Amino acid sequence: MIHGAPRRMSALFLLAVALATPPVDLRWRAPQGCPDAEMAADRLLELLPAEEGPAVVADVWLDSTDSGYRARVTIINDDARTERTITGRSCTTVADAAVIVVAVHVDALAVVAAPAVRELVTATPEPATPSSPRRRTGGPVREPSLPAQVPGSTTSGPRETAASSTTAPARPHRPPHVGLRVGVGAALRQVPAASLLASVGVGAWVRRVRVDLELGWAFSARASLIGLATKGADIALLQGAARVSWVPRLGRLEFALGGGVSLGDMIATGTGLARNRTRHDLWLALLADAGLVFAPIPTLGLFFAPELSVAVRRPSFVVDAGDGARSLYQPPVLGVRLLAGLEVRLR
């Protein structure tokens, strides 16, 4: 009895199809009548081998122009970002060129060795020139060789020897990426009570190292004298922070672990006192933070950033309630901030 054999073969076939996926997280947008995402994925399978591991994120957006079609290609590979624009009269040609750009960025050697490309190179006739005596005399046609300067070629024979004799080119210098952040959240144990927190900042990162500068405002909270609820002060905190983080990435997720320093102006405005005045005092703290960023598209990120502060300079406010100076508020040593928001990535 072999009733189970077709099912097992079907399961193996589906598994093979699932595994036959190139290492590309392809996001494909195209107008009606152009090659769709499925066709683009099939073309990638012809050019790239299936591999395990984190995928390269490739965003391809095809649209029509007055003179034809245009493809905007954005490729994010770990810590590198590449942008290309391709134009042409035919949507199919532009789409095919975009797929080749993505494939070459992922693995140029695999594209060179792909059967479709090798057949195309082999089928291309060698132009007859005065320096090609075999063409003129009708001798055997020499098979065109693959580029010898491609490092790590897997072909055999003289081409492999030529390729292995060269060295890999130096990695080009990449300018830092820049992002602008706007966030809201809560400040705990910094002002007298849990307070609304607003923040703006700018960050720059190269590879896995990120540097952030931020300006935050913890809205005022009331501190009152014991037994005299109507007498006290509204206390707020304006702070600037500088941080350095290590940012490993996994697909569209980024994890930030780092620390820094924060310098702030703690502002107390008297309420219910005989002379309500405003006082300023210095607040200084060391920071330890962890963050999570989800980037659904290359130019936009959603972040969540909890942070622990250790105050090394704590202001102390006193008031005169008519019976002498009395201590009103001094922030604790440990404070917490919870911040979430939006990051716009300029490049």
Same domain, 79 and 29: yes
Question: pLDDT tens, 69-95?
Answer: 999 999 887 667 888 899 998 999 999
The C-alpha atoms of residue 238 and residue 219 are separated, in whole angstroms, by 9
Number of independent structural domains in the chain: 2
Provide the pLDDT for residue 12: 44
Provide the pLDDT for residue 313: 96
Got the DSSP string for 163-196?
HHTS-PPPPPP-PPEEEEEEEEEEEESSSSS-EE
| CATH code of the domain in which 199 resides | 2.40.160.20
pLDDT band (50, 70, 90) for residue 22: low
More confident residue, 281 or 134: 281
Got the DSSP string for 281-326?
EEEEEEEEEEEEEEEEETTEEEEEEEEEEEEEE---EEEE-SSSEE
* Top-ranked range on mean pLDDT: pick from 85-89, 117-121, 306-310, 321-325: 306-310
Strand order in the sheet with 69-77: 24-29, 56-64, 69-77, 80-88
CA distances from 177 to 82, 85, 112, 212, 294 (A): 11, 19, 31, 12, 16
Range of the domain at 81: 20-127+142-164
Any idea which of 30-34, 59-63, 265-269, 270-274 has the lowest mean pLDDT? Answer: 270-274
More confident residue, 150 or 34: 34
Provide the pLDDT for residue 64: 87
Q: Does residue 4 form part of some domain?
A: no
Q: Does residue 6 form part of some domain?
A: no
Is residue 3 scored above 70 in pLDDT?
no
Same domain, 99 and 199: no
The C-alpha atoms of residue 335 and residue 283 are separated, in whole angstroms, by 12
Same domain, 149 and 247: no
Any idea which of 113-122, 179-188, 271-280, 305-314 has the lowest mean pLDDT? Answer: 113-122
Any idea which of 146-150, 170-174, 289-293 has the lowest mean pLDDT? Answer: 146-150
Is residue 261 scored above 90 in pLDDT?
yes
Instruction: Identify residue 315 by its one-letter amino acid code.
Output: P
Question: pLDDT tens, 107-141?
Answer: 766 665 566 555 544 544 445 444 444 444 444 54
Is residue 320 scored above 80 in pLDDT?
no
Is residue 301 scored above 50 in pLDDT?
yes
Number of DSSP helices (H) and strands (E) in the chain, helices first = 7, 15
CB–CB of 72/88 below 8 Å?
Answer: no
The C-alpha atoms of residue 293 and residue 304 are separated, in whole angstroms, by 7
Provide the pLDDT for residue 82: 85
Same domain, 258 and 334: yes
More confident residue, 347 or 221: 221
pLDDT band (50, 70, 90) for residue 286: very high
Q: Does residue 259 form part of some domain?
A: yes
Same domain, 214 and 155: no
- The end-to-end CA distance of the chain, in Å, is 62
Same domain, 155 and 222: no
Q: What is the mean pLDDT of the chain?
A: 78
The C-alpha atoms of residue 331 and residue 283 are separated, in whole angstroms, by 9
Q: Does residue 199 form part of some domain?
A: yes
Instruction: Identify residue 40 by its one-letter amino acid code.
Output: A
| CATH code of the domain in which 123 resides | 3.30.160.100
Same domain, 298 and 201: yes
Task: Calculate mean pLDDT across residues 240-269.
Answer: 93
Q: Does residue 171 form part of some domain?
A: no
Same domain, 211 and 64: no
Q: Does residue 98 form part of some domain?
A: yes
Provide the pLDDT for residue 103: 83
CB–CB of 171/162 below 8 Å?
Answer: no
Question: pLDDT tens, 161-170?
Answer: 333 334 444 4
* Top-ranked range on mean pLDDT: pick from 20-24, 37-41, 264-268, 326-330: 264-268
- Strand 334-345 to 300-313 pairing: antiparallel
Q: Does residue 190 form part of some domain?
A: yes
Provide the pLDDT for residue 347: 65
pLDDT band (50, 70, 90) for residue 67: confident
Same domain, 181 and 286: yes
CB–CB of 22/45 below 8 Å?
Answer: yes
> Percent of the chain scored above 90 by pLDDT?
39
Same domain, 312 and 182: yes
Task: Calculate mean pLDDT across residues 15-27.
Answer: 59
Same domain, 189 and 338: yes
Residue 36 neighbours by CB distance under 10 Å? 13
Same domain, 72 and 95: yes
Task: Calculate mean pLDDT across residues 240-268.
Answer: 94
The C-alpha atoms of residue 97 and residue 91 are separated, in whole angstroms, by 10
Q: Does residue 295 form part of some domain?
A: yes
The C-alpha atoms of residue 190 and residue 73 are separated, in whole angstroms, by 46
**HSE of 72, CA atoms in CB hemisphere, 13 A:** 6
Q: What is the pTM of this model?
A: 0.54
Task: Calculate mean pLDDT across residues 26-34.
Answer: 88
pLDDT band (50, 70, 90) for residue 341: very high
The C-alpha atoms of residue 334 and residue 285 are separated, in whole angstroms, by 9
